[in-house]
Amino acid sequence: MIKCNNVQEQAHDLSGLIFERWREVFNAGEFVLGDEVPRFETWMSQRCAGAYAISMNSGTDALLLALKALGVGPGHHVITCSNTFVATVGAIVAVGAQPILADVGDDELINVDTIAPLLTTRTRAVIPVHLRGRPVDIDSIVALCNAHGVAVIEDCAQAIGTTINGRQVGTSSDASAFSLHPLKTLGGLGDGGVLVTTNPKIAEYARSARNHGLQVRDESVVFGMNSRLDSLQAAALNVKVEHLDHWLRRRKEIADFYNEALGETATGADLGKQRTGSSYYHYVVKSKKRDQLQRHLAEHDIQATIHYPIPVHRQRAWLNSQPATALPTTERLAQEILTIPCHQHLSDGDVEKIAWTVRQFDSR
Ligand SMILES: Cc1ncc(COP(=O)(O)O)c(C=O)c1O
């Protein structure tokens, strides 16, 4: 089976180097906030043009602490999209604010046209999601929000390597949240995340609150949480960062091939191919006969998955607690989208087979 992700291969290929680093962590006995953690944060900061990078336990916590740092809480509205991993909306609910879901364009991304009608005096923040590693039009979203005194937090969980004008996304807004979950293009061997910000106050709050506000061992300045990136995870990530650009180049090469091979087919090429700067975390095709296409690919030993089959406003968690919401484009796309494998462990033969199998379905 050609798989949609390469978690095992990625860990396995680098296991020798990772075990070597882990031995150093064992010897030092620094399992919590040891040297590997600031080393990773320095790398992330450099990647983000010198912004503050505060590692934590997950991308979800990075969203949560960004919201808290900006003072978002009960009585506030936060606008985001519904075609995202449930964590984006979960973080808003967790701080006691009301999520307001905007529809997306045909490119699956939230934009100023869908956000603007939802802005009210209660809106405190907007969380655009760089879904699939496709850059949203962040400059126009920030301009709109600035004009209304509304904060912007970028959900960069899927966007390591995503660029606008050649620069890593995540530094145009008040703060951004990256995930280091193993499935991500840069993932640990367990959970992890990073909050990135150019605002020193947000950075200071996040650094403190991720560790119960402890400035020194026994003195706390703010109530927070335990959301530290483990030293062992940081060590694994410090090995992986050396390979990231190579992986990103391979993903782009594969995506370019799909764009060329599938662009004229009924399924059509990636919905985001017109967006330069995509890091191709997911490569998505679209078909009115999506479920049949998925089965056809499975019959040819190709795994294709759906991200996400149930938009957040159709989840039971939403239906049980939030107002009914209609999002026509989001709902239509959820019926048509299919993620085909696009990662660095695919051979040229795999990629050709996938493209050929999609084309064969179209010509039936
Ligand atoms: C768009 C999006 N937002 C937030 C998250 C949450 O990140 P984490 O799993 O690291 O908490 C994810 C993770 O899959 C995601 O894809």
DSSP string, 227-275: -PPBHHHHHHHHHHGGGHHHHHHHHHHHHHHHHHHHTTSSS-S-TTTTS
Q: Are residues 154 and 11 in the same domain?
A: yes
pLDDT at 83 over 90: yes
pLDDT at 11 over 90: no
At 106, list the tokens.
Answer: 């045909």
Report the range of poorest mean pLDDT among 24-38, 181-195, 274-288, 315-329.
274-288
Among 67, 93, 179, the mutation site with the greatest number of ligand 1 atoms within 8 A of its Cβ is: 179
**pLDDT at residue number 268:** 73
pLDDT at 120 over 90: yes
358: domain CATH number? 3.90.1150.10
**End residue of a domain, out of 202, 227, 242:** 242
Q: Residue 331's beta-bridge partner residues? A: none
* Smallest CA separation from ligand 1 atom 7, residue: 59
Range of the domain at 65: 7-242
**pLDDT at residue number 98:** 98
In this structure, the dihedral spanned by the alpha carbons of residues 348, 351, 84 and 145, taken in order and rounded to 10 degrees, is 60
CB 88 near ligand 1, within 6 Å: yes
Q: Are residues 177 and 291 in the same domain?
A: no
Q: Are residues 133 and 222 in the same domain?
A: yes
CB 85 near ligand 1, within 6 Å: yes
Band of pLDDT at residue 274, cut at 50, 70 and 90: low
At 286, list the tokens.
Answer: 């679209």
Note whether residue 320 is domain-resident. yes
Which numbered atom of ligand 1 lies nearest the CA of 193? 10
Q: Are residues 260 and 311 in the same domain?
A: yes
**End residue of a domain, out of 242, 269, 285:** 242
227 CA to middle of ligand 1, Å? 15
Which numbered atom of ligand 1 lies nearest the CA of 62? 11
**End residue of a domain, out of 218, 242, 266:** 242
Note whether residue 1 is domain-resident. no
Note whether residue 357 is domain-resident. yes
At 261, list the tokens.
Answer: 């091979």
Q: Are residues 119 and 260 in the same domain?
A: no
CB 129 near ligand 1, within 6 Å: yes
CA angle 287, 290, 292 (to 5 degrees): 125
Which numbered atom of ligand 1 lies nearest the CA of 129? 1
Q: Are residues 204 and 66 in the same domain?
A: yes
87 CA to middle of ligand 1, Å? 6
Q: Are residues 222 and 300 in the same domain?
A: no
Mean pLDDT of the chain: 95
71: domain CATH number? 3.40.640.10
At 357, list the tokens.
Answer: 């199998």
Start-end of H helices in the chain: 7-13, 15-28, 36-47, 59-69, 87-94, 112-115, 138-147, 200-209, 231-240, 244-262, 290-299, 316-319, 328-336, 348-362
Calpha distance 82→35 (Å, rounded): 38
Closest Cα partner for 177 from 156, 148, 200? 156
**pLDDT at residue number 153:** 98
pLDDT at 272 over 70: no
Q: Are residues 39 and 56 in the same domain?
A: yes
pLDDT at 265 over 80: no
Note whether residue 2 is domain-resident. no
80 CA to middle of ligand 1, Å? 14
Q: Are residues 13 and 78 in the same domain?
A: yes
pLDDT at 362 over 90: no
Residue 328 exposed, middle or buried by CB count within 10 Å (0-12, 13-18, 19+): exposed
Q: Are residues 86 and 61 in the same domain?
A: yes
pLDDT at 103 over 90: yes
Q: Residue 197's beta-bridge partner residues? A: 52
Note whether residue 207 is domain-resident. yes
Buried b / exposed e over 98-116, threshold 16 CB at 10 Å, is bbbbbbbeebbbbbbebbe
33 CA to middle of ligand 1, Å? 22
CB 59 near ligand 1, within 6 Å: yes
pLDDT at 336 over 70: yes
19 CA to middle of ligand 1, Å? 27
219 CA to middle of ligand 1, Å? 32
Residue with tokens 């300045």: 221
Split into its structural domains, the chain has a count of 2
SS3 123: strand
Q: Are residues 169 and 51 in the same domain?
A: yes
Q: Are residues 234 and 279 in the same domain?
A: no
Calculate what percentage of the chain has a pLDDT beyond 90: 92
pLDDT at 238 over 80: yes
**pLDDT at residue number 273:** 65
Q: Residue 79's beta-bridge partner residues? A: 100, 126
Which numbered atom of ligand 1 lies nearest the CA of 179? 10
Residue pLDDT, tens place only, 152-179:
999 999 999 999 999 999 999 999 999 9
CB 133 near ligand 1, within 6 Å: no
